[in-house]
Structure 1
Amino acid sequence: MEFQTLIENRRSVRKYSSHTNVTKEQIQQLVQAALEAPSWKNTETGRYYCVLSEDMSQKLRKECLCYANNDVKTEHAALIVTTFVHNRAGFQTDGTPDNEIENGWGCYDLGLQNENLILKATELGLSTLIMGLRDGDKIREMLSIPESETIVSVIAVGKADEEPSRPRRRELEDVLKFY
């Protein structure tokens, strides 16, 4: 698929088919694509925790994604919790920050990785929903995520059972300035 078509066809999906399961191999392809993203000093601080088990997925949805009906929106989808190792991207080896953004660079790098992940999902015929409304403390406990990692989002991955329309995007002149 041509890249421009790929990015224009990607949608956030809030209803997934019960007839298709995401495989471990597909998740591996998504995370491999994520790892191709650039990162601060090639620190590659992004981490991924994938829930494929139906029992564990149901528990995580019920206990950790109850905000904004995310538990309902992600039924029948695999769940990927995304984190980054803090105090590495944007920092010197002695721990001093390289600039005022500090751990913001870890979040930025993870965003670049997650974009690759969701575009790869689209290429594979899968759909995604990135969620920031979640109970990070419960997720950390449930998946044994170390305190050294910042939990950023949960990404639902599955086969869409809906076809969302393409939202209107801003015009270039509203967001672009030349000097």
Structure 2
Amino acid sequence: MEFQKLIESRRTVRKYSADSKVTKEQIEELIHAAQEAPSWKNSQTGRYYCVMSDDLTEKIRQNCLPGANNAVKSKHAALIVTAFVHNRAGFQPDGMPDNELGNGWGCYDLGLQNENLVLKAAEMGLGTLIMGIRDADKIRELLEIPETETIVSVIAVGVPAEEPARPKRRELDTIAKFF
């Protein structure tokens, strides 16, 4: 698929097919695409916790996705919890931050990786929903995620059971200034 068409056609999906399951191989392909994103000093601090079993997926949906009706919106999808190793991206080897953003660079890098992941999913015919409203403490406990990692989002991945319309985008002159 042509790249411009891909980025214009990718949509957030809030309803997934009960008849189709995402495979481990598909999730691996998504993570390989995510790994190709740039990161601060090539620190590669993004981490992915892939939840594919029906029981654990249901437990996370019901107990760890408290708001925005995300438990319902992610039904029939695999879940990928995204995290980054803190105090690495944006930091010197002695632990001093390179600039005022500090761990903001880990979040930035993970965002770049997650964009690759959702675009790859769209190319593969899969839908995604990035959920920032989540109970990180419960997720950390259920998936045994180390305290040295910051949990950022949960991404639902599945076969879409809907085709959301493209929302209107702001005009370029309202978001960009040229000097």
Q: Secondary structure at the match of 1:150?
A: strand
| Number of aligned residues | 179
CA distance in 1, matches of 2:15, 2:164: 10
Structure 1 residue 67, shift from structure 2 partner: 1.2
Residues 1-179 of structure 1: pairs in structure 2 closer than 5 A: 1-179=1-179
CA distance in 1, matches of 2:122, 2:137: 30
Letter in 2 for 1:132: G
Q: Secondary structure at the match of 1:84?
A: strand
Report the TM-score, using the length of structure 1 for normalisation: 0.99
- Residue by residue over 1:22-43, the C-alpha shift from the partner in whole angstroms, topping out at 9 and shown as x without a partner, is 0000000000000000000000
In structure 1, the gaps of 5 or more residues are: none
Structure 1 residue 66, shift from structure 2 partner: 2.6
Report the TM-score, using the length of structure 2 for normalisation: 0.99
- Residue by residue over 1:92-111, the C-alpha shift from the partner in whole angstroms, topping out at 9 and shown as x without a partner, is 00000000000000000000
Letter in 1 for 2:156: A
CA distance in 1, matches of 2:29, 2:122: 12
In structure 2, the gaps of 5 or more residues are: none
Letter in 1 for 2:155: I
Percent identity reads 72
Q: Structure 1 stretches (4+) deviating beyond 2 angstroms?
A: none
